[in-house]
Chain A
Amino acid sequence: MMGGVSHPVIQVSALTKRFDATLAVDGIDFAVPAGATAGLLGGNGAGKTTTLAMLLGLLLPSDGQIRVFGEDMLRHRYRVLPRMNFSSPYVDLPHRLTVRQNLTVYGRLYGIRQLGERIAALAEDLQIAEFLATPTGKLSAGQRTRVALAKALLNAPELLLLDEPTASLDPDTGDWVRGYLERYRRQSGATILLASHNMGEVERLCSEVMMMRKGRIVDRGSPRALIERYGRDTLEEVFLHIARSGEFAAREAAQ
Protein backbone atom coordinates (compact mmCIF):
# COMPACT_ATOMS: atom_id res chain seq x y z
CA MET A 1 0.00 0.00 0.00
CA MET A 2 1.33 3.40 -0.97
CA GLY A 3 1.47 6.41 1.25
CA GLY A 4 -0.20 4.75 4.24
CA VAL A 5 -3.41 6.73 3.65
CA SER A 6 -6.49 5.20 5.28
CA HIS A 7 -9.02 6.10 2.54
CA PRO A 8 -7.39 5.59 -0.84
CA VAL A 9 -9.25 6.58 -3.99
CA ILE A 10 -8.13 3.32 -5.63
CA GLN A 11 -7.69 0.13 -3.64
CA VAL A 12 -6.72 -3.00 -5.56
CA SER A 13 -6.32 -6.41 -3.92
CA ALA A 14 -5.06 -9.65 -5.48
CA LEU A 15 -6.14 -8.41 -8.91
CA THR A 16 -5.66 -11.10 -11.52
CA LYS A 17 -6.47 -11.38 -15.22
CA ARG A 18 -6.01 -14.52 -17.25
CA PHE A 19 -6.54 -14.75 -21.01
CA ASP A 20 -6.69 -18.50 -21.55
CA ALA A 21 -3.17 -19.69 -20.70
CA THR A 22 -1.71 -16.17 -20.43
CA LEU A 23 -1.52 -14.54 -17.04
CA ALA A 24 -1.70 -10.85 -17.96
CA VAL A 25 -2.04 -9.50 -14.42
CA ASP A 26 -0.84 -11.68 -11.59
CA GLY A 27 -2.42 -10.93 -8.24
CA ILE A 28 -1.37 -7.31 -7.80
CA ASP A 29 -2.14 -5.12 -4.78
CA PHE A 30 -1.88 -1.37 -4.64
CA ALA A 31 -3.61 1.73 -3.43
CA VAL A 32 -3.57 5.31 -4.64
CA PRO A 33 -4.34 8.05 -2.12
CA ALA A 34 -6.56 11.02 -2.89
CA GLY A 35 -4.84 13.83 -4.75
CA ALA A 36 -1.81 11.76 -5.75
CA THR A 37 -0.45 11.15 -9.23
CA ALA A 38 0.64 7.55 -9.42
CA GLY A 39 2.28 5.76 -12.32
CA LEU A 40 2.17 2.21 -13.61
CA LEU A 41 5.51 1.78 -15.29
CA GLY A 42 6.57 -1.16 -17.38
CA GLY A 43 7.48 -2.38 -20.84
CA ASN A 44 5.14 -3.66 -23.51
CA GLY A 45 3.01 -6.51 -22.21
CA ALA A 46 3.77 -5.74 -18.56
CA GLY A 47 0.06 -5.50 -17.75
CA LYS A 48 -0.36 -1.71 -17.42
CA THR A 49 -3.21 -1.25 -19.91
CA THR A 50 -4.92 -4.42 -18.70
CA THR A 51 -4.83 -3.06 -15.15
CA LEU A 52 -6.27 0.29 -16.28
CA ALA A 53 -8.99 -1.48 -18.28
CA MET A 54 -10.04 -3.42 -15.17
CA LEU A 55 -10.09 -0.24 -13.09
CA LEU A 56 -12.39 1.31 -15.69
CA GLY A 57 -14.69 -1.71 -15.77
CA LEU A 58 -13.97 -2.31 -19.47
CA LEU A 59 -12.42 -5.64 -18.59
CA LEU A 60 -13.66 -8.12 -16.00
CA PRO A 61 -10.95 -9.46 -13.68
CA SER A 62 -10.46 -13.20 -13.31
CA ASP A 63 -9.95 -12.71 -9.61
CA GLY A 64 -9.37 -10.04 -6.96
CA GLN A 65 -11.05 -6.85 -5.86
CA ILE A 66 -11.12 -3.26 -7.04
CA ARG A 67 -12.50 -0.47 -4.90
CA VAL A 68 -12.74 3.03 -6.29
CA PHE A 69 -13.95 5.82 -3.99
CA GLY A 70 -14.71 2.99 -1.55
CA GLU A 71 -17.15 1.28 -3.97
CA ASP A 72 -16.72 -2.24 -5.29
CA MET A 73 -16.14 -1.65 -9.03
CA LEU A 74 -17.44 -5.06 -9.98
CA ARG A 75 -20.80 -4.51 -8.32
CA HIS A 76 -21.31 -0.75 -8.33
CA ARG A 77 -19.33 0.64 -11.25
CA TYR A 78 -22.17 2.99 -12.23
CA ARG A 79 -21.87 4.77 -8.90
CA VAL A 80 -18.26 5.50 -9.66
CA LEU A 81 -18.06 6.07 -13.43
CA PRO A 82 -19.58 9.60 -13.33
CA ARG A 83 -16.71 10.66 -11.05
CA MET A 84 -13.90 9.36 -13.23
CA ASN A 85 -12.70 9.56 -16.81
CA PHE A 86 -10.12 8.15 -19.13
CA SER A 87 -7.92 9.06 -22.05
CA SER A 88 -5.77 6.94 -24.31
CA PRO A 89 -4.20 7.57 -27.71
CA TYR A 90 -5.15 4.00 -28.59
CA VAL A 91 -8.91 4.50 -28.24
CA ASP A 92 -10.23 6.93 -30.82
CA LEU A 93 -13.07 9.37 -30.74
CA PRO A 94 -15.29 9.02 -33.82
CA HIS A 95 -13.40 10.55 -36.73
CA ARG A 96 -16.33 11.80 -38.77
CA LEU A 97 -17.88 13.81 -35.98
CA THR A 98 -16.55 17.30 -35.41
CA VAL A 99 -14.77 18.05 -32.17
CA ARG A 100 -17.81 19.95 -30.87
CA GLN A 101 -20.17 17.09 -31.82
CA ASN A 102 -17.97 14.55 -30.03
CA LEU A 103 -17.76 16.69 -26.91
CA THR A 104 -21.51 17.30 -27.03
CA VAL A 105 -22.29 13.57 -27.22
CA TYR A 106 -19.92 12.72 -24.37
CA GLY A 107 -21.07 15.68 -22.32
CA ARG A 108 -24.65 14.43 -22.61
CA LEU A 109 -23.61 10.90 -21.69
CA TYR A 110 -22.19 12.36 -18.49
CA GLY A 111 -25.31 14.50 -18.02
CA ILE A 112 -23.32 17.75 -17.83
CA ARG A 113 -25.43 20.83 -17.21
CA GLN A 114 -24.68 23.98 -19.21
CA LEU A 115 -22.71 21.85 -21.60
CA GLY A 116 -22.12 24.66 -24.11
CA GLU A 117 -20.33 26.73 -21.47
CA ARG A 118 -18.32 23.73 -20.29
CA ILE A 119 -17.16 22.92 -23.83
CA ALA A 120 -16.25 26.58 -24.44
CA ALA A 121 -14.24 26.73 -21.20
CA LEU A 122 -12.35 23.51 -21.96
CA ALA A 123 -11.78 24.58 -25.57
CA GLU A 124 -10.20 27.80 -24.37
CA ASP A 125 -8.18 26.05 -21.69
CA LEU A 126 -6.86 23.32 -23.99
CA GLN A 127 -6.49 25.64 -27.02
CA ILE A 128 -8.85 23.70 -29.25
CA ALA A 129 -11.44 26.43 -29.85
CA GLU A 130 -10.25 27.09 -33.40
CA PHE A 131 -11.00 23.55 -34.55
CA LEU A 132 -14.24 22.80 -32.72
CA ALA A 133 -15.96 22.61 -36.11
CA THR A 134 -13.30 20.34 -37.64
CA PRO A 135 -13.92 16.59 -38.03
CA THR A 136 -11.87 14.84 -35.34
CA GLY A 137 -10.23 12.56 -37.90
CA LYS A 138 -8.65 15.57 -39.64
CA LEU A 139 -6.70 16.72 -36.59
CA SER A 140 -2.97 16.24 -36.03
CA ALA A 141 -1.80 13.84 -33.31
CA GLY A 142 -1.17 16.73 -30.92
CA GLN A 143 -4.57 18.30 -31.56
CA ARG A 144 -6.24 14.92 -31.16
CA THR A 145 -4.53 14.40 -27.81
CA ARG A 146 -5.83 17.75 -26.57
CA VAL A 147 -9.33 16.89 -27.76
CA ALA A 148 -9.14 13.51 -26.03
CA LEU A 149 -8.06 15.34 -22.90
CA ALA A 150 -11.02 17.72 -23.25
CA LYS A 151 -13.30 14.65 -23.44
CA ALA A 152 -11.61 13.21 -20.37
CA LEU A 153 -12.12 16.43 -18.41
CA LEU A 154 -15.74 17.13 -19.45
CA ASN A 155 -17.13 15.78 -16.18
CA ALA A 156 -14.37 17.40 -14.08
CA PRO A 157 -13.29 13.92 -12.93
CA GLU A 158 -12.02 13.35 -9.43
CA LEU A 159 -10.11 10.38 -10.78
CA LEU A 160 -8.36 10.49 -14.13
CA LEU A 161 -6.90 7.35 -15.69
CA LEU A 162 -4.46 7.95 -18.52
CA ASP A 163 -2.90 5.38 -20.79
CA GLU A 164 0.36 6.74 -22.21
CA PRO A 165 -0.97 10.29 -22.34
CA THR A 166 1.86 11.69 -24.47
CA ALA A 167 2.57 8.73 -26.77
CA SER A 168 3.40 9.79 -30.35
CA LEU A 169 3.54 13.49 -29.46
CA ASP A 170 6.45 15.75 -30.31
CA PRO A 171 8.50 16.89 -27.27
CA ASP A 172 6.93 20.36 -27.20
CA THR A 173 3.33 19.09 -27.24
CA GLY A 174 4.21 16.32 -24.79
CA ASP A 175 5.65 18.89 -22.41
CA TRP A 176 2.53 21.06 -22.76
CA VAL A 177 0.26 18.10 -21.95
CA ARG A 178 2.33 17.19 -18.88
CA GLY A 179 2.21 20.79 -17.68
CA TYR A 180 -1.54 20.88 -18.17
CA LEU A 181 -2.04 17.67 -16.19
CA GLU A 182 0.10 19.04 -13.35
CA ARG A 183 -2.01 22.21 -13.24
CA TYR A 184 -5.27 20.25 -13.39
CA ARG A 185 -4.28 18.05 -10.47
CA ARG A 186 -3.12 21.03 -8.42
CA GLN A 187 -6.25 23.08 -9.07
CA SER A 188 -8.85 20.32 -8.83
CA GLY A 189 -7.24 18.04 -6.25
CA ALA A 190 -7.97 15.13 -8.59
CA THR A 191 -6.22 11.80 -8.34
CA ILE A 192 -4.38 10.64 -11.44
CA LEU A 193 -3.21 7.16 -12.35
CA LEU A 194 -1.22 6.91 -15.52
CA ALA A 195 0.31 4.02 -17.39
CA SER A 196 3.43 4.87 -19.29
CA HIS A 197 6.81 3.74 -20.47
CA ASN A 198 7.99 7.32 -20.78
CA MET A 199 10.39 7.64 -17.83
CA GLY A 200 10.73 11.40 -18.02
CA GLU A 201 6.97 11.77 -17.88
CA VAL A 202 6.64 9.47 -14.89
CA GLU A 203 9.52 11.14 -13.08
CA ARG A 204 7.98 14.57 -13.59
CA LEU A 205 4.34 13.80 -12.85
CA CYS A 206 4.23 10.94 -10.39
CA SER A 207 4.70 11.02 -6.66
CA GLU A 208 4.49 7.22 -6.56
CA VAL A 209 5.46 4.63 -9.12
CA MET A 210 4.65 0.94 -9.44
CA MET A 211 7.09 -0.94 -11.63
CA MET A 212 5.35 -3.75 -13.51
CA ARG A 213 6.85 -6.75 -15.24
CA LYS A 214 4.99 -9.75 -16.59
CA GLY A 215 1.79 -8.84 -14.80
CA ARG A 216 3.37 -8.28 -11.41
CA ILE A 217 4.36 -5.21 -9.47
CA VAL A 218 8.04 -5.89 -8.91
CA ASP A 219 8.84 -2.69 -7.05
CA ARG A 220 7.25 0.55 -5.96
CA GLY A 221 8.05 3.88 -4.37
CA SER A 222 8.66 7.50 -5.31
CA PRO A 223 10.84 8.04 -8.39
CA ARG A 224 13.63 9.41 -6.13
CA ALA A 225 13.41 6.44 -3.75
CA LEU A 226 13.58 3.95 -6.64
CA ILE A 227 16.57 5.70 -8.17
CA GLU A 228 18.39 5.63 -4.82
CA ARG A 229 17.41 2.03 -4.06
CA TYR A 230 18.94 0.79 -7.29
CA GLY A 231 21.92 3.16 -7.13
CA ARG A 232 21.13 4.68 -10.54
CA ASP A 233 20.98 8.20 -11.91
CA THR A 234 17.61 8.13 -13.64
CA LEU A 235 14.34 6.24 -13.53
CA GLU A 236 15.09 5.00 -17.03
CA GLU A 237 18.17 3.21 -15.74
CA VAL A 238 16.08 1.67 -12.96
CA PHE A 239 13.53 0.56 -15.53
CA LEU A 240 16.20 -1.02 -17.75
CA HIS A 241 17.76 -2.74 -14.74
CA ILE A 242 14.45 -4.27 -13.72
CA ALA A 243 13.48 -5.21 -17.27
CA ARG A 244 16.86 -6.81 -18.02
CA SER A 245 17.17 -8.55 -14.69
CA GLY A 246 13.83 -10.13 -15.54
CA GLU A 247 15.16 -11.30 -18.90
CA PHE A 248 18.29 -12.61 -17.18
CA ALA A 249 16.22 -14.47 -14.60
CA ALA A 250 14.07 -15.95 -17.36
CA ARG A 251 17.14 -17.10 -19.29
CA GLU A 252 18.58 -18.61 -16.12
CA ALA A 253 15.32 -20.43 -15.45
CA ALA A 254 15.17 -21.69 -19.04
CA GLN A 255 18.68 -23.09 -18.79
Chain B
Amino acid sequence: MSGGFSPGRVGAMLLRYLFLLRSSWPRALELVYWPAISMVLWGFTSQFLMTNSSYVARAGGVLLAAVMLWDVMFRGQLGVSMSFLEELWSRNLGHLFVTPLRPYEWMIALLTMSVIRVAIGVVPAMLLAIPLYHYSIFTLGPPLIAFFTLLLVMGWALGLIIDALLLRHGLGAESLAWLAVFLLAPASAVYYPVSILPRWLQDVAQLLPSAHVFEGMRAAMFDHVFRLDHFIAAASLDAVYLAVGAVVFLLAFRGARRRGALLQMGE
Protein backbone atom coordinates (compact mmCIF):
# COMPACT_ATOMS: atom_id res chain seq x y z
CA MET B 1 0.00 0.00 0.00
CA SER B 2 1.40 3.37 -0.94
CA GLY B 3 -0.92 5.53 1.19
CA GLY B 4 -0.65 9.29 1.06
CA PHE B 5 0.35 11.99 3.49
CA SER B 6 1.46 10.58 6.83
CA PRO B 7 1.53 12.76 9.96
CA GLY B 8 3.56 9.95 11.53
CA ARG B 9 6.41 10.49 9.07
CA VAL B 10 6.28 14.26 9.60
CA GLY B 11 6.41 13.53 13.34
CA ALA B 12 9.41 11.23 12.83
CA MET B 13 11.32 14.04 11.09
CA LEU B 14 10.38 16.51 13.83
CA LEU B 15 11.61 14.03 16.40
CA ARG B 16 14.89 13.74 14.49
CA TYR B 17 15.42 17.54 14.69
CA LEU B 18 14.34 17.75 18.32
CA PHE B 19 16.76 14.93 19.24
CA LEU B 20 19.46 16.93 17.50
CA LEU B 21 18.58 20.14 19.31
CA ARG B 22 18.51 18.31 22.64
CA SER B 23 21.87 16.66 21.99
CA SER B 24 23.75 19.95 21.80
CA TRP B 25 23.19 22.77 24.31
CA PRO B 26 25.30 25.25 22.26
CA ARG B 27 22.83 24.81 19.39
CA ALA B 28 19.89 25.48 21.69
CA LEU B 29 21.71 28.47 23.24
CA GLU B 30 22.49 29.87 19.78
CA LEU B 31 18.75 30.02 19.08
CA VAL B 32 18.19 32.35 22.04
CA TYR B 33 21.51 34.20 21.93
CA TRP B 34 21.24 36.46 18.86
CA PRO B 35 17.63 37.57 19.31
CA ALA B 36 18.40 38.43 22.93
CA ILE B 37 21.60 40.33 22.06
CA SER B 38 19.83 42.26 19.26
CA MET B 39 17.04 43.17 21.62
CA VAL B 40 19.48 44.43 24.30
CA LEU B 41 21.42 46.55 21.78
CA TRP B 42 18.31 48.03 20.20
CA GLY B 43 16.78 48.55 23.62
CA PHE B 44 19.61 50.88 24.66
CA THR B 45 19.54 52.56 21.25
CA SER B 46 15.82 53.15 21.67
CA GLN B 47 16.32 54.60 25.15
CA PHE B 48 18.89 57.02 23.75
CA LEU B 49 16.75 58.01 20.77
CA MET B 50 13.67 58.49 22.94
CA THR B 51 15.23 61.71 24.19
CA ASN B 52 16.85 62.70 20.91
CA SER B 53 14.36 61.74 18.23
CA SER B 54 10.80 62.90 17.91
CA TYR B 55 10.12 59.87 15.65
CA VAL B 56 11.06 57.32 18.31
CA ALA B 57 9.58 59.45 21.07
CA ARG B 58 6.14 59.07 19.46
CA ALA B 59 6.19 55.37 20.26
CA GLY B 60 8.97 54.20 22.53
CA GLY B 61 8.98 50.58 21.51
CA VAL B 62 8.97 51.09 17.75
CA LEU B 63 12.59 50.05 17.21
CA LEU B 64 12.36 47.20 19.70
CA ALA B 65 9.19 45.88 18.10
CA ALA B 66 10.85 46.16 14.69
CA VAL B 67 13.96 44.24 15.73
CA MET B 68 11.90 41.50 17.37
CA LEU B 69 9.59 41.10 14.38
CA TRP B 70 12.51 41.17 11.95
CA ASP B 71 13.98 38.33 13.98
CA VAL B 72 10.74 36.37 13.51
CA MET B 73 11.30 36.47 9.76
CA PHE B 74 15.03 35.85 9.93
CA ARG B 75 14.68 32.98 12.44
CA GLY B 76 11.74 31.59 10.47
CA GLN B 77 13.89 31.40 7.34
CA LEU B 78 16.90 30.14 9.27
CA GLY B 79 14.74 27.50 10.97
CA VAL B 80 13.82 26.02 7.58
CA SER B 81 17.37 26.26 6.23
CA MET B 82 19.22 24.97 9.32
CA SER B 83 17.15 21.81 9.67
CA PHE B 84 17.69 21.24 5.96
CA LEU B 85 21.43 21.83 6.30
CA GLU B 86 21.60 19.28 9.11
CA GLU B 87 20.68 16.60 6.56
CA LEU B 88 23.38 17.77 4.18
CA TRP B 89 26.02 17.97 6.89
CA SER B 90 25.20 14.45 8.07
CA ARG B 91 24.93 13.08 4.49
CA ASN B 92 21.63 11.58 5.51
CA LEU B 93 19.51 12.19 2.39
CA GLY B 94 20.37 8.81 0.90
CA HIS B 95 18.87 7.05 3.91
CA LEU B 96 15.86 9.33 4.30
CA PHE B 97 14.62 9.00 0.76
CA VAL B 98 14.74 5.24 0.53
CA THR B 99 12.08 5.28 3.27
CA PRO B 100 8.46 6.07 2.35
CA LEU B 101 9.09 9.73 3.36
CA ARG B 102 7.68 12.08 0.71
CA PRO B 103 9.54 15.30 -0.11
CA TYR B 104 6.46 17.36 0.79
CA GLU B 105 6.27 15.62 4.20
CA TRP B 106 9.89 16.60 4.78
CA MET B 107 9.02 20.15 3.71
CA ILE B 108 6.17 20.28 6.24
CA ALA B 109 8.52 19.02 8.96
CA LEU B 110 11.04 21.74 8.06
CA LEU B 111 8.33 24.43 8.31
CA THR B 112 7.02 23.07 11.61
CA MET B 113 10.52 22.94 13.01
CA SER B 114 10.95 26.55 11.99
CA VAL B 115 7.97 27.51 14.21
CA ILE B 116 9.56 25.67 17.14
CA ARG B 117 12.94 27.32 16.57
CA VAL B 118 11.34 30.80 16.31
CA ALA B 119 9.39 30.20 19.51
CA ILE B 120 12.53 29.09 21.35
CA GLY B 121 14.59 31.98 19.97
CA VAL B 122 12.34 35.02 19.81
CA VAL B 123 9.79 34.61 22.59
CA PRO B 124 12.43 34.77 25.39
CA ALA B 125 13.78 38.03 23.86
CA MET B 126 10.24 39.43 23.77
CA LEU B 127 9.75 38.52 27.42
CA LEU B 128 13.17 39.87 28.44
CA ALA B 129 12.34 43.30 27.00
CA ILE B 130 9.55 43.72 29.58
CA PRO B 131 11.74 43.92 32.71
CA LEU B 132 14.72 45.48 30.90
CA TYR B 133 13.02 48.28 28.98
CA HIS B 134 9.48 48.29 30.31
CA TYR B 135 8.31 47.51 26.81
CA SER B 136 6.01 44.61 25.98
CA ILE B 137 5.44 43.80 22.35
CA PHE B 138 2.36 41.92 23.50
CA THR B 139 0.64 45.29 24.01
CA LEU B 140 0.19 45.28 20.23
CA GLY B 141 -2.60 42.80 20.91
CA PRO B 142 -4.20 40.72 18.16
CA PRO B 143 -2.31 42.54 15.33
CA LEU B 144 0.87 41.02 16.76
CA ILE B 145 -0.44 37.57 15.80
CA ALA B 146 -0.98 38.80 12.24
CA PHE B 147 2.48 40.42 12.01
CA PHE B 148 4.13 37.36 13.53
CA THR B 149 2.38 34.95 11.15
CA LEU B 150 2.96 37.03 8.02
CA LEU B 151 6.68 37.41 8.70
CA LEU B 152 7.05 33.75 9.64
CA VAL B 153 5.44 32.68 6.36
CA MET B 154 7.70 35.01 4.40
CA GLY B 155 10.66 33.44 6.23
CA TRP B 156 9.36 29.99 5.20
CA ALA B 157 9.09 30.98 1.55
CA LEU B 158 12.60 32.39 1.58
CA GLY B 159 13.90 29.34 3.45
CA LEU B 160 12.42 26.96 0.87
CA ILE B 161 13.96 28.90 -2.01
CA ILE B 162 17.35 28.86 -0.25
CA ASP B 163 16.97 25.10 0.36
CA ALA B 164 16.25 24.66 -3.35
CA LEU B 165 19.47 26.55 -4.18
CA LEU B 166 21.34 24.32 -1.72
CA LEU B 167 19.89 21.24 -3.40
CA ARG B 168 21.08 22.61 -6.74
CA HIS B 169 24.51 23.91 -5.73
CA GLY B 170 25.35 21.88 -2.62
CA LEU B 171 27.11 23.17 0.47
CA GLY B 172 29.05 25.68 -1.63
CA ALA B 173 25.93 27.83 -1.35
CA GLU B 174 25.65 27.34 2.43
CA SER B 175 26.34 30.97 3.32
CA LEU B 176 23.10 31.95 1.55
CA ALA B 177 21.26 30.55 4.56
CA TRP B 178 22.67 33.34 6.72
CA LEU B 179 22.98 36.14 4.22
CA ALA B 180 20.04 36.04 1.81
CA VAL B 181 17.48 37.59 4.14
CA PHE B 182 19.61 40.73 4.61
CA LEU B 183 19.31 41.47 0.90
CA LEU B 184 15.65 42.19 1.60
CA ALA B 185 16.24 44.26 4.74
CA PRO B 186 16.67 47.70 3.11
CA ALA B 187 13.45 47.43 1.08
CA SER B 188 11.60 45.85 4.01
CA ALA B 189 11.75 49.21 5.79
CA VAL B 190 12.18 47.59 9.16
CA TYR B 191 13.31 50.67 11.11
CA TYR B 192 12.05 53.51 8.89
CA PRO B 193 8.97 54.23 6.79
CA VAL B 194 8.82 53.10 3.16
CA SER B 195 8.35 56.75 2.16
CA ILE B 196 12.01 57.59 2.80
CA LEU B 197 13.17 55.03 0.22
CA PRO B 198 14.00 56.13 -3.34
CA ARG B 199 11.04 55.79 -5.68
CA TRP B 200 12.27 52.62 -7.40
CA LEU B 201 12.93 50.94 -4.05
CA GLN B 202 9.46 51.90 -2.86
CA ASP B 203 8.13 49.93 -5.83
CA VAL B 204 10.24 46.96 -4.75
CA ALA B 205 8.95 47.35 -1.18
CA GLN B 206 5.38 47.02 -2.42
CA LEU B 207 6.26 43.49 -3.48
CA LEU B 208 7.59 42.47 -0.06
CA PRO B 209 5.19 41.20 2.61
CA SER B 210 7.72 42.35 5.21
CA ALA B 211 7.47 46.01 4.09
CA HIS B 212 3.67 45.87 4.48
CA VAL B 213 4.01 44.29 7.91
CA PHE B 214 6.41 46.94 9.19
CA GLU B 215 4.25 49.72 7.77
CA GLY B 216 1.30 48.06 9.50
CA MET B 217 3.27 47.78 12.73
CA ARG B 218 4.10 51.50 12.72
CA ALA B 219 0.48 52.36 11.99
CA ALA B 220 -0.59 50.24 14.95
CA MET B 221 1.99 51.82 17.25
CA PHE B 222 1.79 55.46 16.14
CA ASP B 223 -1.84 55.80 15.08
CA HIS B 224 -3.38 52.84 16.94
CA VAL B 225 -5.04 51.51 13.79
CA PHE B 226 -4.86 48.13 12.12
CA ARG B 227 -4.22 48.75 8.43
CA LEU B 228 -6.28 46.11 6.64
CA ASP B 229 -4.82 47.14 3.26
CA HIS B 230 -1.30 46.26 4.39
CA PHE B 231 -2.55 43.04 5.95
CA ILE B 232 -4.29 41.91 2.76
CA ALA B 233 -1.30 42.87 0.60
CA ALA B 234 1.14 41.00 2.86
CA ALA B 235 -1.08 37.91 3.13
CA SER B 236 -1.61 37.76 -0.65
CA LEU B 237 2.09 38.16 -1.39
CA ASP B 238 2.92 35.54 1.25
CA ALA B 239 0.52 33.07 -0.36
CA VAL B 240 2.17 33.59 -3.75
CA TYR B 241 5.73 33.38 -2.42
CA LEU B 242 5.04 30.33 -0.27
CA ALA B 243 3.52 28.53 -3.26
CA VAL B 244 6.53 29.54 -5.39
CA GLY B 245 8.91 28.40 -2.61
CA ALA B 246 7.19 25.01 -2.32
CA VAL B 247 7.19 24.43 -6.08
CA VAL B 248 10.83 25.50 -6.45
CA PHE B 249 11.82 23.24 -3.54
CA LEU B 250 10.03 20.21 -4.99
CA LEU B 251 11.45 20.86 -8.47
CA ALA B 252 14.94 21.18 -7.01
CA PHE B 253 14.40 17.89 -5.19
CA ARG B 254 13.47 16.21 -8.45
CA GLY B 255 16.52 17.77 -10.09
CA ALA B 256 18.68 16.36 -7.29
CA ARG B 257 17.25 12.91 -8.03
CA ARG B 258 18.10 13.35 -11.69
CA ARG B 259 21.71 14.32 -10.91
CA GLY B 260 22.24 11.73 -8.18
CA ALA B 261 22.83 14.47 -5.61
CA LEU B 262 20.81 12.73 -2.87
CA LEU B 263 23.53 10.13 -2.50
CA GLN B 264 26.51 12.41 -2.91
CA MET B 265 25.51 15.59 -1.18
CA GLY B 266 27.41 16.33 2.00
CA GLU B 267 30.51 17.90 3.46
Contact = CB atoms under 8 A, between A and B. Distances in A.
- Chain A CB within 10 Å, residue with most, of B12, B101, B254: B12
Q: Is the interface of B mostly helix, strand, loop or mixed?
A: helix
Interface of B: 1-3, 6, 8-9, 11-13, 15-16, 19-20, 23-24, 86, 90-92, 94-102, 254, 257-260, 262-263, 266
Q: Is the interface of A mostly helix, strand, loop or mixed?
A: mixed
B91 to A, nearest CB: 5
B90 A94 contact: yes
A88 to B, nearest CB: 7
B263 A109 contact: no
A78 interface: yes
A58 B260 contact: yes
Given A58-B94, A59-B260, A108 B12 contact: yes
Interface stretch (A96-104, A197-205, A231-239): A96-104
Given A94-B90, A104-B15, A81 B20 contact: no
Nearest to A154: B99
Nearest to A108: B12
A108 B99 CA distance: 10
Contacts of A91: 91-92, 94-95, 263
Contact of A60 (B3, B13, B15, B257): B257
B100 to A, nearest CB: 5
Interface string A101-137: 1001110111100000000000000000000000100
17 contacts: A49-B263, A59-B262, A79-B1, A82-B1, A85-B98, A88-B94, A91-B263, A93-B92, A93-B95, A94-B90, A95-B90, A101-B16, A101-B19, A105-B13, A105-B15, A110-B99, A111-B100
Given A60-B258, A94-B20, A109 B92 contact: no
Contact of B19 (A88, A93, A97): A97
Interface in A3-50: 19, 49-50
